[in-house]
Amino acid sequence: MKQLLIFPYNGNGIEALDCLQGQYELIGFVDDNPEKQGIQANGVEVFSRAALTRYKDAKVLAVPGSPTTYTQRRAMIEGLQVPDNRFATVIHSNAQVSRLARIGHNVLIMAGVVITSNAVLGNHLCILPNTVIHHDVQIHDYTLIGAQIVIAGYTTVGRDCYIGSGSKVIDHITIGDSTLVGMGTNVITSIPARHKVVGNPARIIGIVS
């Protein structure tokens, strides 16, 4: 069984524990915050980045990011200086993934997620529980997808986005790079890059700096 390190010790990382289910032998978390290092978290130790070298054969699952830090995810992950072939992809056993879907590396797919035919998921993604991604959807690198979201067919979600939990996205539209979609938003038209949207229907409330 391959060994695994999870970065960082955050909500996404803790939720990932339930997704492992014997797929990997978990060594522990990696976190840059000295106050978290060395403690026992859910029975697992939290290390500094030195663990990436100490356990050089271990796979890495990197799941940083939140609604306030999602635009920094790419820099955080690239800062680990981990080669692509070292990243893990973890899929909960209760997720349903079409054999016709394509999924990149460093992707976390939580319980109850449904990904249907011809969906293309890029690298460095996190998809929270009970989200449905329909046929021919494309989700680009470094994007965070919340819980109980529905993304309808032929829609494209750009890089570095955050789609808040409970949102619904209509078919055949594009959500531009670095866009923030607030919780419970209904997106019925394309959204330009670097915009913040909320509401039903979605309305622009600001620009992502």
Active-site residue, from 135, 140, 172, 195: 135
Q: How far apart are CA 169 and CA 117, in angstroms?
A: 17
CA distances from 183 to 44, 126, 146, 164 (A): 31, 16, 8, 4
Mark whether 135 is an active-site residue.
yes
| 3-class state of residue 198 by DSSP | strand
SS (H, E, C) 96-135: EECCCCEECCCEEECCCCEECCCCEECCCEEECCCCEECC
Q: Cβ–Cβ contacts within 10 Å for residue 207, how many?
A: 11
Find the DSSP H helices in the chain: 11-20, 50-54, 73-78
Instruction: Check if the beta carbon of residue 185 is closer than 8 Å to that of residue 198.
Output: yes
Residues identified as active-site:
135
